Amino acid sequence: MIDHLSYSSISTWQHCPRAWWVGYVMGIREPSSPAQVLGTIVHKVIEDIVVTKNFGEIERIARESAVESIADAVKTGTASVSVDVDDMVHTVLDILNDPCIISIIEDIEVNDGSDIERRVSFNVEGVPIPVIGFIDILQSSGVPLDIKTSAFDWDDGRAANETQPLYYLRALNNGNEFHHLVIVKNTIIPRAYVIRTFYDDYRQVDVNIKTAWEGMTKFINATSGPPHCENLRCWCHRVKEM
């Protein structure tokens, strides 16, 4: 039963209705990749340090997060991919022990632990269930911040084209500024920076959500889903016919 919507579910529907049906109606989720597992670990370590400011605990937190994240990933099917705790911890330490990255993390301020993975929600007229989300870090300034681990550099245009921040700003309904903490991991010297973006009109998401919901309702109780999309690399092509 679908009792809420999220940026992820709506984005999946917009890219491939069948992938949405497979994941959110049939409950078959795409396995996490090693890069996604690494991103999850980096998220958890940064979020913990932002609250505690205890940089001496990076290795311990990284190891605990690696064990937990890899176990979660195995449940979703990543057991077939080689994911090693020690390798993950080593990679995380290579990134987060960099003094420049530490200085950036030190500057992120929150009021308390409740500002980490802050749950937000809002309702859209004509959609009977809420839209929910979890903001990585809600800074003490009130500006939401999302952590992104990337193999490549971001620029202002890349950040401005992200649509997920619109959902968070819509839920907070308090300003139009959003921050991305970008961690570039595939470099000889790891680097990080914060991109500050101002979004003109986040209320446009209501139209997108309502349109997606109208399409979803046709398949929520269906025994057969939408047709496969044209992208042969899409998750919908990897799940056998149902």
Q: What is the pLDDT of residue 144?
A: 97
pLDDT digits (tens, 9 = 90+) for 11-44: 999 999 999 999 999 988 887 778 888 888 899 9
Predicted TM-score of the model (pTM): 0.90
For 151-192, the pLDDT digits (tens) are: 889 999 999 999 999 999 999 988 899 999 999 987 678 889
User: Are residues 202 and 164 in contact, defined by beta-carbon separation less than 8 angstroms?
Assistant: no
Does residue 79 carry a pLDDT above 70?
no
The overall average pLDDT reported for the chain is 89
Name the residue with higher pLDDT: 40 or 116: 116
Q: Which of 71-80, 152-161, 214-223 has the lowest mean pLDDT?
A: 71-80
**Dist CA 95 CA 186 (whole Å):** 9
What value does the mean pLDDT take over residues 198-218?
A: 91
Q: Is the pLDDT of residue 81 over 70?
A: no
Instruction: Give Cα separations from 185 to 98, 102, 132, 190, 235 (angstroms).
Output: 11, 14, 29, 6, 26
How does residue 132 score in pLDDT terms, banded at 50, 70 and 90?
A: very high
User: How high is the pLDDT of residue 18?
Assistant: 95
pLDDT at residue 123, rounded to an integer: 97
144 vs 212: CA distance, rounded Å? 25
The answer to whether residues 21 and 226 touch, using CB atoms and an 8 Å cutoff, is: yes
- CA distances 88 to 83, 85, 203, Å, are 8, 5, 39
Provide the pLDDT for residue 198. Answer: 95
CA distance 42 to 39: 5
Give the confidence band of 94 by pLDDT, cuts at 50, 70, 90: confident
Continuous H helices in the chain: 7-15, 17-20, 34-52, 58-75, 85-96, 99-106, 156-160, 164-172, 205-216
More confident residue, 135 or 70: 135
Mean pLDDT for the stretch of residues 93-100: 86
